Structure 1
Amino acid sequence: MTADAAPPASEVRLRAGELSRDGRRVIGPLNGYHHETYAFPLPEESELSARFARAKLRAPRPGLLWFDRRCFASEDLLLTALQGRITRIPEIIEVGGGVCLQGFIEGGTLDGGAGCLPGRYLPGRGLSRGLSRRHVDQLEQFFNELVSIDPKKLEEREVKRVCAAADRTDDGDSAAFLDRLIGFTEDQVYRRHGEPYQGLFEELGVGAEALVRLRKRAVELHRRPFSLLHCDLHRKNLIVDRRGDLWIIDWELAMIGDPLYDLATHLHLMRYPRREEARVARRWQRAVERARAGSSYGWEDDLPLLLAYKRVQSVYTDVIRTALLLGEGRGRSARPGPGSGLNLRLLPRAAWRIQRVLAAAAQEPSGADRELSGAAGAVGVPSYRQVVAAYRNWFRTARPPEALTPSAP
């Protein structure tokens, strides 16, 4: 193959072309870490064509480095089971051979500003944009519907889970649930997958101390009945259609667990202004209590600890993802390490983002989790120049990790 030749089409791309009846109109792959995704116009005879102009075909990417625990074996089977029970998710149909199509929501993401109130930039907190009243109402409805679903009913619908029964925590044991999450981050992300990056962690002042402190505090969590969780409610997974309604996509990280964890994950990923954060939290509390009494028990005491965990988790995840991104920016086959080539064009923006992640992990938002500040275990937050130097040094000396799939942080 010459340097200018296009790589061969993947099986997923070829299948999308077959289903569309015109491979030239297939768009993709769309952005996404866990799945290879394509969109294409629907033939008139499709079951979805009366309600959608286009469909999405998704397939899991092989050989991924997972930064989060997985719960369900198939996102498609989960979404199929949720049809008619969760209002704001796309319709899904099976087209044969275990292949499923999702209706494609025409519109824009909240990441692009769709449906958001005017905002301003806040250093260390991202773009300060609140949600419209309409979207807060729809988000409240979504949380209510999530908690209304009995997890046992999902098993009855043959939505298989990948975790062994012995590794699942008892219903309502929020402390054990968080302990499992901490254990996954420590064992699978920091130690196993993070082994090639230890030199980078050390230069950035990142250690495992915060995970130890979090584990000691996890026993303090109040009991709450478990529910279905989305676990990835960020702006790119919230779609605003052309009528202005909100839709929730990308359920690959969904799991069964403490409902407060879904709120913590959402607040962490969205980086709302403080007043907006409080408004969304109050609406969440109202939604889950209306669905199942006790679902928000002790939430104000426990939320800071769960947010602290999300900040710590982000440090390990983003440091590794950024190294992968900087190494693969010069070609699909590139890997971090000697001779792979540090992408200097991407380095300034990536280093700035890592510096902000480290600063966020070290913040002291309240007395409730002040002892967890400095979440990365750093003596002080490294400066932007120090972050740039850390990645430069690591690329000069690191051994390339084997066959990992990079993604943008």
Structure 2
Amino acid sequence: MSGDAGVVEGPLHGYHHETYVVPLAGWAVEAEPVRWKCREPRPGLLWFDRRCFASEEQLLRALQGRIEGIPDLIQAGSAGLQRFIEGETLGALYGSGDGIPRSLSGQIVSLFGQLARVKPHSLTVKRTCTSVYRAAEGDTDGFLERLILFTEEEVYQRNMPDFRGLFHELGLYEASFGTLREHVSGLTRRPFCLLHADLHRENFVVDGAGRLWTIDWELAMFGDPLYDLATHLYLMRYPSDQEDRMTERWCETVESAAPGSSAGWEADLPKLLAYKKAQSVFTDVIRTALSLAEQAELDEDLLVRAGGRVREVMSAATEPLGVGTPSEEVVTASLRKWCENYDPVGGEHRP
């Protein structure tokens, strides 16, 4: 495609895809070089979030002119390519926990307003999520219930054959989902809109002109607009004062775009954040265990650090899941035991 294998960059680091960046042979030369992303889903990947659209490229094509700062697309033969945004990720410029400049936070707020205007009936993009995982318009309780159901069935239960022992040693049982449902029920109804659902620092790119671009739309869905804010706040780890300002500006912006979008946010935002904390327990336990098992030899320092991260996410979710926080010794010993019984070749856990 590029005409010169030496100019191909990749594979780039990413969880969901194997990605290469290429300039296309014969493509018109602009003032700045234009490169495109060619990528494929990684085989055998564990998905911890539901996918609602059949194609990210189809979604981006439908959003052109409606959402600012998203990649252009072209068709190169049978391959659909996204324009590679030249710049630095927000995370490379401002690490987790750091505040970000108002010029950039303002662009994020503007993005939320644009998303609030994109209603489920206004896009004809093919959706793949089944009716089991779709809630009726405005049914925020039903929307959250389906997110919980996905975590319960597709993350917890589906991975039980390999992770049963580790889950149970950490105190993570089926009953935790009942506790979670009780903790987060009773949401205020809000009009549904398009959600990016994964707005963290590595999914924002700042170009040389200070413009913010939003990438990686594969987890986009229609649903409760407050869920997008909760996910964003949870992943961004803003300083507390900037988190408060972002929430205030979000409320003003989405209300202007779609009245009712921020209704009941004071009571509901903590509930949605509680779900994100609970969800992270199951995803982080699985990801941490698998990352340790990939090591040729289990490094004790790496194991201790990994155990500390698992304990941290469990501590944050003790109330919504109704579980205790195991000691560092218990977490580390449980992870070590799991790794010792894991078959990295077959990808199966020995009994």
> How high is the TM-score relative to the length of structure 2?
0.92
Correspondence 1:357 to 2:313: yes
2:123 aligned residue (150, 154, 157): 154
> How high is the TM-score relative to the length of structure 1?
0.79
- Runs of 5+ consecutive residues of structure 1 not aligned to the other structure: 1-18, 120-126, 331-340, 363-372, 405-409
Q: Does structure 1 conserve the Cα–Cα contact (< 8 Å) formed by 2:133 and 2:150? A: no
Partner of 2:188: 222
Partner of 2:87: 107
Shift of 1:273: 1.6
Q: Does structure 1 conserve the Cα–Cα contact (< 8 Å) formed by 2:140 and 2:189? A: yes
Partner of 1:64: 45
**Aligned-partner Cα distance in 2 for 1:66–1:189:** 8
**Aligned-partner Cα distance in 1 for 2:11–2:301:** 23
Q: Does structure 2 conserve the Cα–Cα contact (< 8 Å) formed by 1:39 and 1:54? A: yes
Q: Does structure 1 conserve the Cα–Cα contact (< 8 Å) formed by 2:163 and 2:286? A: yes
Q: Does structure 2 conserve the Cα–Cα contact (< 8 Å) formed by 1:39 and 1:104? A: yes
Amino acid in structure 1 at the alignment position of 2:316? A
Partner of 1:382: 326
**Aligned-partner Cα distance in 1 for 2:294–2:12:** 18
Change in Cα spacing, 1:171 to 1:106, as seen in structure 2 (3 Å) is same
Shift of 1:64: 1.8
Number of aligned pairs?
348
Q: Does structure 2 conserve the Cα–Cα contact (< 8 Å) formed by 1:205 and 1:376? A: no
Stretch moving more, 304-313 or 276-285: 276-285
2:167 aligned residue (176, 201, 213): 201
1:21-36 alignment runs, 5 A limit = 21-36=3-18
Q: Does structure 2 conserve the Cα–Cα contact (< 8 Å) formed by 1:207 and 1:377? A: no
Stretch moving more, 168-177 or 188-197: 188-197
Partner of 1:291: 257
Correspondence 1:174 to 2:130: no
1:144 aligned residue (113, 124, 135): 113
Change in Cα spacing, 1:402 to 1:232, as seen in structure 2 (3 Å) is farther
Root mean square deviation, CA, Å: 2.2
Q: Does structure 1 conserve the Cα–Cα contact (< 8 Å) formed by 2:184 and 2:275? A: no
Q: Does structure 2 conserve the Cα–Cα contact (< 8 Å) formed by 1:86 and 1:145? A: yes
Partner of 2:178: 212
Correspondence 1:395 to 2:339: yes
**Aligned-partner Cα distance in 2 for 1:52–1:220:** 51
SS of the residue 2:36 aligns to: strand
**Aligned-partner Cα distance in 1 for 2:120–2:280:** 28
Partner of 1:279: 245
Partner of 1:255: 221
**Aligned-partner Cα distance in 1 for 2:152–2:5:** 44
Correspondence 1:45 to 2:27: yes
- Runs of 5+ consecutive residues of structure 2 not aligned to the other structure: none
Correspondence 1:319 to 2:285: yes
Stretch moving more, 304-313 or 238-247: 238-247
Q: Does structure 1 conserve the Cα–Cα contact (< 8 Å) formed by 2:51 and 2:219? A: yes
Q: Deviations over 1:297-346 (max 9, x none)?
A: 1111101111000000000000001111111233xxxxxxxxxx545564
Shift of 1:216: 2.7
Identity %: 52
